[in-house]
Chains A and B, each alone.
Chain A
Amino acid sequence: MQRRDFIKASGIGLGVLLLPAYGRVIAAEELLGKLDVGLKKRLADTAMTAAKADGATYCDVRIGRYLRQFVITREDKVQNVVNTESSGVGIRVIANGTWGFAASSDLSADSVAKAARQAVQIAKANSKLTTDPVQLAPVKGVGEVSWATPIVKNSMEVPIKDKVDLLLGVNAAAIKAGANFVNSMLFQVNEQKYFASTDGSYIDQDIHRIWAPMTVSAIDKATGKFRSRDGLSMPAGMGFEYLDGKKEDKFALPGGLIGYGNSYDMLEDAVAAAKQAQEKLKAPSVKPGKFDLVLDPSHLWLTIHESVGHPTELDRVLGYEANYAGTSFATLDKWKSKDYQWGSDKVTIVADKTQKNSLGAVGYDDEGVKTQRWDLIKDGILVNYQAIRDQAHILGLDHSQGCCYADSWSSVQFQRMANVSLEAGKEKLSPEQMVKDVENGIYIIGDGSFSIDQQRYNAQFGGQLFYEIKNGKITRMIEDVAYQIRTPEFWNACVAVCDQSDYRLNGSFFDGKGQPGQVSAVSHGSSTARFNGINVINTARSLG
Chain B
Amino acid sequence: MSIYSEQDAKAILDKVIKLSKADECTATLSGSVDGNIRYALNAVSTSGIVSDAELGVQVAFGKRVGTATINEFDDKSLEKVVRRAEELAKLAPENPEFVPAIGKQTYAKSKTWFEKTAAITPEYRASVAADSIGPSKAAKCVAAGFLSDSARFSAIANSNGNFAYQTSTNVDFTCTVRTEDGTGSGWVARNLADIEQFNAKDEIKVAVQKATASRDAKALEPGKYTVIMEPAASAGLISFMMFGFDARQADEGRSFLSKKGGGNKLGEKMFDERVTIYADPVDPVAAVLPWDNEGQARERTPVITKGKVEYMQYSRYWAKLKEKKASGQPGNLIMVGGDKSTMDLVKSTKKGILVTRTWYIRMVDPQTVLLTGLTRDGTFYIENGEIKYPIKNFRFNESPVIMLNNIEEIGKPVRVGDDESPFVMMIPPLKIRDFTFTSLSDAV
Residues on A close to B: CB < 8 A? 2-4, 13-19, 24-27, 77-78, 81-82, 99, 101, 105, 122, 126, 129-131, 164, 180-181, 217, 219, 221-228, 318-324, 326-327, 329, 410, 412, 449-458, 460, 462, 480, 482, 484, 486, 515-516, 535, 537, 539-544
Contact = CB atoms under 8 A, between A and B. Distances in A.
B397 A537 contact: yes
B41 interface: yes
9 contacts: A4-B420, A27-B84, A129-B43, A180-B252, A181-B252, A221-B262, A224-B258, A322-B40, A460-B438
A81 B92 contact: yes
Q: Considering the complex of A and B, which 9 residue pairs feature the smallest CB-CB distances, nearest first?
A: A15-B293, A458-B441, A455-B443, A322-B144, A453-B443, A219-B253, A224-B260, A323-B144, A541-B368
A158 B408 CA distance: 59
B256 interface: yes
A321 to B, nearest CB: 7
Contacts of A544: 405
Interface in B20-54: 26, 28, 36, 38, 40-41, 43-48, 50, 54
A217 B84 CA distance: 36
A131 to B, nearest CB: 6
Given A25-B69, A323-B40, A535 B439 contact: yes
B362 interface: yes
A453 B397 contact: no
Given A15-B294, A455-B443, A486-B442, 7 more contacts: A101-B46, A226-B367, A324-B146, A451-B361, A482-B364, A537-B397, A542-B368
A515 B38 contact: yes
B382 interface: no
Given A3-B420, A219-B253, A323 B145 contact: yes
B372 A482 contact: yes
A114 B429 CA distance: 50
Interface in B160-196: 174-176, 178, 182
B362 A449 contact: yes
Contacts of A217: 254
B444 A543 contact: no
A302 B69 CA distance: 36
| Residue among A225, A323, A535 with the highest chain B CB neighbour number at 10 A | A323
A539 B370 CA distance: 7
B261 interface: yes
Nearest to A315: B40
Interface in B398-444: 399, 401-402, 405, 419-420, 438-444
A81 B92 CA distance: 9
Nearest to B50: A410
Given A219-B252, A322-B178, A484-B438, A25 B68 contact: yes
A224 B251 CA distance: 11
A19 B397 contact: no
A181 B254 contact: yes
Given A484-B438, A515-B146, A543-B368, A460 B254 contact: no
A129 B93 contact: no
A322 B44 contact: no
Contacts of A324: 146, 174
B367 A225 contact: yes
A277 to B, nearest CB: 11
Contacts of B50: 410
A77 B95 CA distance: 8
Given A24-B69, A24-B70, A543-B256, A451 B372 contact: yes
B420 A319 contact: no
A453 B253 contact: no
Nearest to B146: A515
Given A225-B367, A539-B370, A319 B393 contact: no
A99 B46 CA distance: 9
B438 A537 contact: yes
Q: Is the interface of A mostly helix, strand, loop or mixed?
A: loop
Contacts of A537: 397, 438
A17 B293 contact: yes
B259 interface: yes
Nearest to B436: A541
Contacts of A99: 46
B253 A16 contact: no
B97 interface: yes
B362 A450 contact: yes
A458 B48 contact: no
Contact of B36 (A224, A228, A515): A515
B96 A77 contact: yes
A27 B41 contact: no
Given A77-B97, A460-B372, A453 B360 contact: yes
A26 B261 CA distance: 45
B176 A323 contact: yes
Contact of A323 (B65, B175, B393): B175
Interface string B228-267: 0000000000000001001000001110101111100000
A319 B38 CA distance: 13
B442 A222 contact: no
B360 A452 contact: yes
B88 interface: yes
B266 to A, nearest CB: 15
B443 A219 contact: no
A216 to B, nearest CB: 12
A454 to B, nearest CB: 5
Contacts of A482: 364, 372, 397
B40 to A, nearest CB: 5
A323 B357 CA distance: 13
Given A221-B262, A322-B176, A455-B444, A18 B41 contact: no
A217 B249 CA distance: 11
Contact of B442 (A228, A455, A540): A455
Given A19-B56, A451-B360, A482-B364, A180 B442 contact: no
Contacts of A460: 364, 372, 395, 397, 438-439
Contacts of B182: 327
B6 interface: no
Given A219-B253, A484-B395, A320 B440 contact: no
A24 B87 CA distance: 16
Nearest to B329: A15
A219 B365 CA distance: 14
A219 B252 CA distance: 8
A221 B261 contact: yes
Contacts of B145: 323
A16 B26 contact: yes
Given A14-B293, A15-B292, A516-B148, A539 B43 contact: no
A319 B144 contact: yes
A509 to B, nearest CB: 17
A126 B47 contact: yes
B214 to A, nearest CB: 13
Contact of B419 (A4, A19, A122, A319): A4
